[in-house]
Amino acid sequence: MTSIEFTSQVQKISLTLRPAAMNLTRDADDAKDLVQETLLKALLNKDKFKAGTNLKAWLYTIMRNTFINNYNKITKRSSNIDSTEYFQYFNTDQNYITYNGATSDFVVRDINEAIAGLGTDYRTPFMMYYIGYKYMEIADKLQIPIGTVKNRIHIARKELKSALQVYAPVGASAGDVSEAVED
């Protein structure tokens, strides 16, 4: 199909696009804009149309997708998220507030010491998992079964929870701390 034939067929079908655009937009001006944008996209992408297929359906698909994309853009722009309630409770737990750098230095040092206190069999898979390796990647690199990897990471977590119990939130039981660390 030549460019002239394609353009001619698109012009003939364009008259039938307006009622469908009106159904989508419910506004005459928006419907005109949608049809115009659809025709522009169709003409710019005429090389993607396969001769012998349904041109009308192709144009309707372009129009529907254009409408959906425009609708999503508008709703994303106009939606305001009220975050004041979120920020009101953000970091209000006294156990997690650092008043000076020395306190955080102690915490980091305690965490590093707790990790260093783990046996090498447990520390290596735990640190690999912490860095971002997947269980299967750790198993491949260390040449051990995946079940062993999962077990060693689980044991390392339990030992770290035990060693860092002093940093548990006030009033939290050991079970609450273990759930928080596993998340």
Identify the domain boundary among 37, 56, 80.
80
Identify the domain boundary among 27, 58, 80.
80
CB of 176 closer than 8 Å to CB of 169: yes
Structural domains in the chain (count): 2
Does residue 13 sit in the same domain as residue 73? yes
CA–CA gap between residue 132 and residue 66 (Å, rounded): 39
Domain of 41, CATH number, reads: 1.10.1740.10
Does residue 53 sit in the same domain as residue 88? no
User: What integer pLDDT is reported at residue 97 of this predicted model?
Assistant: 55
Does residue 115 sit in the same domain as residue 163? yes
Continuous H helices in the chain? 3-25, 28-44, 55-78, 84-89, 101-116, 120-131, 135-142, 146-163, 174-182
Residue 18 belongs to what domain range? 1-80
What does the DSSP 8-state code read for residue 53?
S
User: What integer pLDDT is reported at residue 167 of this predicted model?
Assistant: 78
pLDDT in tens, the chain (183 residues): 788 888 889 899 989 999 999 999 999 999 999 999 999 999 999 999 988 899 999 999 999 999 999 888 887 776 665 555 555 555 555 555 555 666 677 788 888 888 899 898 999 999 999 888 899 999 999 999 999 999 999 999 999 998 888 877 766 555 554 454 554
User: What integer pLDDT is reported at residue 183 of this predicted model?
Assistant: 47
